[in-house]
Each structure stands twice: as structure tokens, then as C-alpha cells.
């Protein structure tokens, strides 16, 4: 039986608890939320994980695993201290690691605590193949992200194109994954995950498009190296509870927990 503490009770956290509420091998003991959200989160957690308590931090408890489903700030506030105290962790908000030095802080904290932090694949696939290809030698990784124009509202794309009247696909960014994460932080998770598995943030190339012809988030990855070549296209459906979140992100968390809790993993 795997005893889990989770940071966050938003769309991802709730989706994970819903999918695992009937799994006897995964037990949620604690859900960490900001103080202002204690009452709201408490009602949700009582329904989905009745044995779990809701709090603002670990407060000395030592779960088998701490998983972040809350956003970038939770990594500094909760994950790094937990790693330093020897608690294994999983991170969903991989885009946060595009911040200079944060990936190194995570690794150092895990080394100090003699434990491990796992970065989850989230909305993208083929991470295992890309990481394996890196061992033999990668020459190039190019990620193209294509979303409906409305998905780029409140981003720098608004100054580049007329998102409300776009008639054909328009490139709103082309450059390194690090620069893409800086300009489009809410869309950084996929590019950052590919970068950390492959060539790094500065050598991974990113193209972002606003496309009125699509209704889904379309991820396309091309990689080449000593292993040969890889090409992947994924059309991600949004999570019903939060259209800005990919449903596959929730499923990737559940898969990771299943692999930790069950006798057979893949």
C-alpha cells in the first residue's frame, strides 16, 4: 500500500483522486492547499479520499511519496524541503524547471536527502524513447505546438496577430525552449519536459502556432540522432473540469502512482 500526500486540489488533483478512489493500493493521507482554500478543498477531499486530511504543509508527516499538482510555486515551497528531508517526490509542473537553476536545486535537494524526484511526462508522449536516444547521441529535437487562437489570449501572441480574426495558422514564436518558457510560461510544460529528456532548454527548438483550423492542442515532435529518427503527433483533449489542462496530464499522474503502488509496472 502506497501512502501519498498531494499538493493541490485543483482540476489535476481532483481528477487524480477520482480515478484512484477505488484503488486499495493507493491511499491519500494528506492534501496540501493554501490556507484560504482549506474549507473548499476539505469538502472535495472528504468525498474523494475520506481518510485524507487537508492542511497547509506536511508538518512533520512522512508519506511514502509527495506529489506536486499545484503549480510552479509549490516546488520551492514544498517539494525542495521534502526532498531534503528524504521524502521521494513527483513533479507535474515541469515547466517551472525552465527557471534558471531550479532543476539543479531539485537535484541537489534529492541528493542531500538521499532520495529521488521524478518528473512526469504530462501531456506529451515518447519521453522514454527520447531519453533513451539521448544516451546514444541526439542531434536535434524540434517541438511544434499548435493551439486554437483563443488558447493564446493573455499571452504575447496578442501583440503579434489578431487572435479574434485569424483566418489561417500564424507562427507566434520560434526559438529555444528556454525562451519559449519565458514568454509563454503557461504553455511551458511540454517543451520543458522534452528538453529535460533530450537536448536541454537551449538546444531544443520550439515553434508555436495559433491555428483557427484546430480545436485541440496539437503537439508535434521531431528528433534525430544516432538511434535514427522519431516523429510524434498528439492531439490532446482538454480536461472537462479545466479546458486549459490536458486530460493526459491527469492520466500520466495516475499511471506514475500505479507504477509505484502495484507489483507490475510498465
Query: Which DSSP category does 62 fall into?
Result: -
Task: Confirm or deny that 123 is annotated as ligand binding.
Answer: yes
Measured distance CA(24)–CA(46) in Å, rounded: 17
Considering Cα of 122, then 154, then 184, then 5, what sign does the dihedral take? negative
- Residue with C-alpha cell 498528439? 234
Which grid cell is 20? 484512484
Q: Respond yes or no: is residue 219 known to be catalytic.
A: yes
Q: Could you tell me which of 163, 143, 144 has the C-alpha nearest to residue 153?
A: 163
Q: Please compute Rg for the chain using Cα positions.
A: 19
The kind and range of the H/E element at 68 are strand 65-68
What lies within 8 Å, CB to CB, of 208 at 6+ separation is 144, 145, 146, 147, 157, 171, 172, 173, 174, 180, 184, 187
Measured distance CA(263)–CA(97) in Å, rounded: 31
**Catalytic residue from among 3, 72, 165, 219:** 219
Residues catalogued as catalytic: 219
Question: Which residues sit in the known binding site?
Answer: 123, 189
Question: Which residues sit in the known binding site for NAD(+)?
Answer: 123, 189
Amino acid at each position: 500500500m502506497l501512502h501519498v500526500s498531494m499538493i493541490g486540489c485543483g482540476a489535476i488533483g481532483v481528477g487524480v483522486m477520482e480515478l484512484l478512489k477505488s484503488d486499495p493500493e493507493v491511499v491519500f493521507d494528506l492534501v496540501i492547499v493554501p490556507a484560504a482554500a482549506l474549507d473548499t478543498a476539505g469538502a472535495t477531499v472528504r468525498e474523494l479520499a475520506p481518510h485524507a486530511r487537508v492542511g497547509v504543509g506536511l508538518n512533520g508527516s512522512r508519506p511514502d511519496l509527495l506529489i506536486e499538482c499545484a503549480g510552479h510555486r509549490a516546488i520551492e515551497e514544498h517539494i525542495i524541503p521534502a526532498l531534503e528531508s528524504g521524502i521521494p517526490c513527483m513533479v507535474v509542473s515541469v515547466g517551472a524547471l525552465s527557471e534558471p537553476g531550479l532543476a539543479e536545486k531539485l537535484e541537489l535537494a534529492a541528493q542531500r536527502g538521499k532520495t529521488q524526484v521524478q518528473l512526469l511526462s504530462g501531456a506529451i508522449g515518447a519521453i522514454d524513447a527520447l531519453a533513451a536516444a539521448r544516451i546514444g547521441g541526439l542531434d536535434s529535437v524540434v517541438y511544434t505546438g499548435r493551439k486554437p487562437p483563443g488558447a493564446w489570449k493573455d499571452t504575447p501572441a496578442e501583440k503579434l496577430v489578431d487572435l479574434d480574426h485569424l483566418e489561417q495558422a500564424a507562427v507566434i514564436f520560434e526559438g529555444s525552449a528556454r525562451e519559449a518558457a519565458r514568454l509563454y510560461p503557461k504553455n511551458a510544460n511540454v517543451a520543458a519536459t522534452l528538453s529535460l529528456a533530450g537536448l536541454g532548454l537551449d538546444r531544443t527548438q520550439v515553434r508555436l502556432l495559433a491555428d483557427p483550423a484546430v480545436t485541440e492542442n496539437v503537439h508535434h515532435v521531431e528528433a534525430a540522432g544516432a538511434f535514427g529518427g522519431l516523429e510524434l503527433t498528439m492531439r490532446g483533449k482538454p480536461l472537462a473540469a479545466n479546458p486549459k489542462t490536458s486530460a493526459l496530464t491527469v492520466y500520466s499522474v495516475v499511471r506514475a502512482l500505479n507504477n509505484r503502488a502495484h507489483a507490475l509496472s510498465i
